[in-house]
Structure 1
Amino acid sequence: YILAGEREKLENLLELLSVYKRIPVFIYKFADNEMRTIGLLIVSSIHPGLFRDLGSGSLPYKFLSYSSKRGFVGLFTKGVCDHSENLVRSSDVDNVLRCIFNEDEASEWKELSLTNISRSKVNDITCLSLVFHPNHILSIISRRNKGMEDIPLEVLTELSLKNHKVVIIDAHNSEDHKGINPKPVRGSILYNNMIKCILGNAVSYSSISSANKAIKVGFSHKDLSSFKPEICPGGLSFLALEFEEERYFIASIDGNNMVKGLNEWLRGNMLGLGFKDGEIVTTDNHLYSGIVPKVGYTPIGYNTDWKTLLNKLKEAASEALGKLQEARVLFREVSYEGKYVDMEKLTLLSEITHRNVKEGLLLFDGLLLSYVLTFIFALLGF
């Protein structure tokens, strides 16, 4: 696969280690008064991996390409998911995109009204939430100044609030490259803090008016191909949002995490441009995994010049702000049923293989020692 770029044989093997299930993708469409699409934001719980362009690795930039061909900017964000939500076959990616862009299912769209934008914080976990009427919240989860790995899909079950829809974006924007990057597993302090943080914004439901409040949005996109291998072909997508005379932003960079500290530095500079709040997220794309010898992947900012990246963000912000226009927000959820990597089977196989290799090496060492001793004895005339 590495040398020839042929996926089929490897995907056939992965299919033996797969499980059939249904994974959600949440879609937010921003449209003008005539319902023409201005831009699209998706929150995908289909993980963009497993490795290179295997499985769903091409999903982020293909989504952006599909959007561009339709005349608008798409913004891909990572939902709650880990490697258990990797598609086995890359051919399924186009099927997923057909589900996302199936405009014939207009009856599925639900119109939302933005009523509040707020941020809450529990220790080093922070949550930026867009609260909508009726009974809907979109939360972006980050960890400040410390690393954190994938938020598990089971969080959605935990947050199945009565009569409320909760959608979570995993910002995936802080990696301690030389330290520990824990996964917020159920029952851990990190997990509990995250739940408290989201619920801290959910209390807004009871006090926010359902009156329809006008919003303005503007989208832009920047090619960042010169930042390879830290940034994948999807580049930078930017959403500027104006609500109650304040400006906010969501920026998505097509890459796998950021080095610790970069997000805070970039975000601080962006707030200096007049935004009240915002978040910079990554897609967690694994497209360039293993492209550098002896390196699994390189998080954004490890080699990239931070000031150059900031300038690209500023350009994207300026362009998006220049396109601000009144918008309506529509939401729908699609699910893709297919074969996903069974990480339990893959982990078990890995452990068995590791054990067998280890035992094989021990056996080899024993045989080699016997051979060397026999050779020495022969030289000594025994």
Structure 2
Amino acid sequence: MVDTPSLNHSMNKAIKHYSSMFFLPSLKKSLLLLMLFCIGFIGFCYFLLFLSFEGLIYSLFLGFSLFSSTLILDYFISNYILRTDPIYILRRTLAVSIFCWLIWFIFLLLGLIFSLIFDPLIWLKIALLGFAAVLTFRFVIFLSTSSLGTIQRLVSSFIQPLANILILIGFWETMFTSIYFTFFPFLIIFSIISFFSAALFLFLIDQIGKKNYDVHAIPLFRAFMLNWVAGLNAPFEKFLEKLGKNALIEVMIMKFDSFKTKAAILVPFVHPGPFKNIGSSLLPSQLKYEFEKKFNCDACVPLGILGHELDLASQTQNKKIIDSVIDASNFITTESVASPFVKINMENITASCQIFGKTALLSFTLAPETTEDLPQELGFYVRKEAKKLGMNCSIIINAHNSITDKKEMDLSLITLKAIALKSIKKALSLPHYPFEIGIKTVFPSEFTLKDGLGPGGITSLVVNVAEQKTAYVVIDGNNMVSGLREKIISCLKSKGFHEAEIFTTDTHAVSAIVLGSRGYHPVGEAMDKTLLIKYILDISRDAALTLEACRCKCVKIQVPEVRVIGEERLHSLSNLVDLALKKAKKLVIPIFGIEGLILVSFLAFFL
């Protein structure tokens, strides 16, 4: 089996790292948390310094003032300063502020303890340290994630902590003498130190990508943020286009015609990844949609025999593939006979084959064991051997229809080759008859990308040969929970189908959508399986009702100069996340520790 677990593992780790950054509470919860910190925690700290009725009133006013200031400035930042930044909606600026208040509260709590033991002014001094910590954090966040100009990012970082520290100092003056002019120089000095500490931290992380992969880590992170949060694919795809290379891409087109085009099986030798709407992740559904629109028929796009060697670098490359397929599909179909559908089992491998004229339609599955990417060498070998047996064209499909939590099986390529040839020879040995084709597609409204169903929906292609009725069910998803394939096939057979096979497109449009160990749900994991099977049975029945005599033909086209991002580069980008995080962990203590020592020294010697 192709050695892709390391790539899949690194990509899943990268997706998990990114996805863990995007938990976002509702607006209502954000407001309640903000109120809890400002009025509850911060106000309470202030009250403990001045245990009196007057102190209680002032503490409530302080908390309300901080709450109002934070909310108003967050609204101003998200709706004016960062208005054109799709990341920073009000909920997200509030989430940043809540975390900032958590940091600041820790400092204020420490200040409270020391001020009760020593001098009350210590509380305000440590509050100033909290101001610097919060400002540093905001500089790191806004400078690394916002795609707007430097001035806008700096103002967004600075304006709110400044307003809040001035409020704290102002309320302090209600109990003590004026200290504004004493603290003002320190606000300037601390702000400068915070900025340079954050800038140094980000610069050193950024150099990790430049040094190892010739990619700046921070802009890459920012591009991913724009995709994750706002669904913008272009910023991230610019990196893939830059890192990619040109390749010659093959696509197998098998078209079935009656008096007009009835159905099509389209198999591009492109991996539908890497995730979400990036690269070729949406290619199966996009190709299906555009082909159906042009030829007024149903089509399906199962997965070929390949791995992450050929992910398209951008949706621009998708269009190049789609346009080439449509332009090449106006050919005349000539083959009118087919063999019955055959299945061969050998060493936990199942190969299915059906011959249409001079075309072999062959698929592999390891179900109920994990069926992931299969080696390209297998496809090359089968096509070459099938040609020796008289086949003009071979479509070889990875059913990609079972996944477990166990490690993938170590498969012998020799066994895969042997079972492939055995199934082709068996299909060739059977009598060939005229065939009928029926096809239907459904788009279940109950299932979404988060549930593991892509926009291509579920398609059932039914083939009837000499009273043998076979259903090819193609689901636009990324693999399927173990055991579901067998259950679907059993249900189809109970409804009168003699044979069936279930396929997924391996679309990575469902990846990096949800939190979890994989970053996606395989088909059936988050779906109502009973409802899913009902949909499959219904469309297979409806497809059988549309059966009509057809002719077919398979052609192979080649699309030149397609920009792809290979396995090695994807592996590098995925590992960059881990490297950056490890570097960040190493830098946190020395950079911010030194920053803290400098700030404490200023307070100790000059205030």
Q: TM-score, normalised by structure 1?
A: 0.87
Say if 1:49 and 1:86, in contact at 8 Å, map to a contact too.
yes
Correspondence for 1:185: none
The structure with the largest alpha-carbon Rg is 2
Correspondence for 1:84: 309
Please tell me whether residue 59 in structure 1 is matched to residue 283 in structure 2.
Answer: yes
Q: How does 1:263-282 map to 2 (within 5 A)?
A: 263-282=485-504
Residue 104 (structure 1) shift = 7.0
Correspondence for 2:139: none
Q: How does 1:1-382 map to 2 (within 5 A)?
A: 1-2=226-227, 3-32=229-258, 34=259, 36-69=260-293, 70-102=295-327, 106=331, 111=335, 113-134=337-358, 136-159=359-382, 160-161=384-385, 162-163=387-388, 164=391, 165-176=393-404, 178-181=405-408, 188-204=410-426, 207-208=429-430, 213-229=433-449, 230-294=452-516, 296-337=519-560, 338-351=562-575, 354-355=578-579, 357-365=581-589
- Mark the CA change 1:128 to 1:6 in structure 2 (over 3 Å): closer, same or farther: same
Letter in 1 for 2:441: H
Residue 363 (structure 1) shift = 4.6
Residue 271 (structure 1) shift = 1.2
Residue 157 (structure 1) shift = 1.9
Say if 1:42 and 1:76, in contact at 8 Å, map to a contact too.
yes
Deviation string, structure 1 residues 349-379 (Cα, Å, up to 9, x no partner): 5446634542452354456778899999xxx
- Mark the CA change 1:301 to 1:330 in structure 2 (over 3 Å): closer, same or farther: same
Identical amino acids, percent of aligned pairs: 24
Say if 2:472 and 2:503, in contact at 8 Å, map to a contact too.
yes
Query: What is the DSSP-based 3-state SS (H/G/I as helix, E as strand, rest coil) of the residue aligned with 1:101?
Result: helix
Higher RCO structure, 1 or 2 (CA under 8 Å, sep 6+): 1
Say if 1:225 and 1:233, in contact at 8 Å, map to a contact too.
no
Residue 336 (structure 1) shift = 2.5
Residue 129 (structure 1) shift = 0.3
CA distance in 1 between partners of 2:545 and 2:376 (Å): 37
Report the count of equivalent residues. Answer: 369
Query: What is the DSSP-based 3-state SS (H/G/I as helix, E as strand, rest coil) of the residue aligned with 2:532?
Result: helix
Q: TM-score, normalised by structure 2?
A: 0.56
CA distance in 1 between partners of 2:463 and 2:522 (Å): 27
CA distance in 2 between partners of 1:125 and 1:104 (Å): 33
Deviation string, structure 1 residues 123-153 (Cα, Å, up to 9, x no partner): 211011012443x321111112211211232
Residue 328 (structure 1) shift = 0.8
Letter in 2 for 1:216: E
Letter in 2 for 1:6: L
Query: What is the DSSP-based 3-state SS (H/G/I as helix, E as strand, rest coil) of the residue aligned with 1:40?
Result: strand
CA distance in 2 between partners of 1:116 and 1:314 (Å): 21
Residue 289 (structure 1) shift = 1.6
Letter in 1 for 2:438: G
Structure 1: where are the runs of 5+ without partners? 183-187, 377-382
Q: Give 1 or 2: higher strand fraction.
A: 1
Q: Give 1 or 2: higher helix fraction.
A: 2
